Amino acid sequence: MTIFLDDIEFANMMCSPKDLDSLAVGFLFAEGLIRGKKDIKKVIADEKDGVVWVELRKPNKPPENLIARRFITTGCGKGLTFVDTEKNNMLLRSKSMFKVRVASIPILMKEFHRKSRLYKLTGGVHSAAICGTRRILVFNEDVGRHSAIDKVVGECILKGIKTNDRIMVTSGRISSEILVKAARSRTPVIISKSAPTDLAVRLATDFGITLVGFARGSRMNIYSNSWRVVTEGHRIGSERA
């Protein structure tokens, strides 16, 4: 896919050729180019040719700036320096009181696997979802674990579905980059059937995010901020206890 931002070629990436508008919007959000739907004037996707044009309401970034940014955030975790700053730590820190019942997690994961149709066909893609405490709200699949998440976050932005006080589920490993995606979209809980990295666990602890790994069947590991995963009898969602 090629993303044109205000008629300037902004990024090229390999992806599964579906829901490119969501992917482009989610990617621009993850890269910090847009903060929400209000920043977007128009999105036009040509799925056949793999091109998405995004027009911003305030085209306030000159081309030099965009190129500089793209140079810094060279993907594959090469743009991590920005999360090291105190300022970003403060900005990304979750203050959410959101909670989820431990018994809900296997139910969400079961629905997640049931929806992973392209994975069942190919064994070659990743899945991602944004969930409430009881069910999956938005789901997608992509050849890349980063892009699968960008697709669900982008769809939420385009459809006006709030992502704060939600649960992010991913089939992929939770690396620091993935954790930062969760932090940016304000989801206070991230769950994976796979492993987290050491740096992701440290960031999740710092950012006040609940990181659940190896969620398989009724088992799971809770690596940070475990107070959000509660047993029967506790209030759930974002109700204050």
Q: Which stretch in 70-78, 134-142, 149-157, 222-230 sits in contact with a second copy by CB under 8 A?
A: 70-78
Among 85, 122, 164, 218, binds a second copy (CB under 8 A): 122
Contacts of residue 107, Cβ cutoff 8 Å, sequence gap at least 6: 134
- Least Å from the CB of residue 227 to a second copy: 25
| Assigned token pair, 103 | 């018994």
| Assigned token pair, 235 | 């209030």
Among 101, 146, 166, 184, binds a second copy (CB under 8 A): 146
- Least Å from the CB of residue 235 to a second copy: 33
3 state SS of 188: coil
- If the CB atoms of residues 175 and 210 are measured against a second copy, the closer one turns out to be 175
Does 51 sit near a second copy (CB under 8 A)?
no
Rg (CA), the chain: 17
Compute the distance between CA of residue 105 and CA of residue 229 in angstroms, rounded to an integer.
9
| Assigned token pair, 193 | 């059937």
Compute the distance between CA of residue 221 and CA of residue 201 in angstroms, rounded to an integer.
11
Among 56, 97, 102, 195, binds a second copy (CB under 8 A): 195
Footprint of a second copy on this chain (CB under 8 A)? 11-14, 67, 70-71, 74-78, 80-81, 122-124, 143-144, 146, 173, 175-177, 194-197, 199, 214
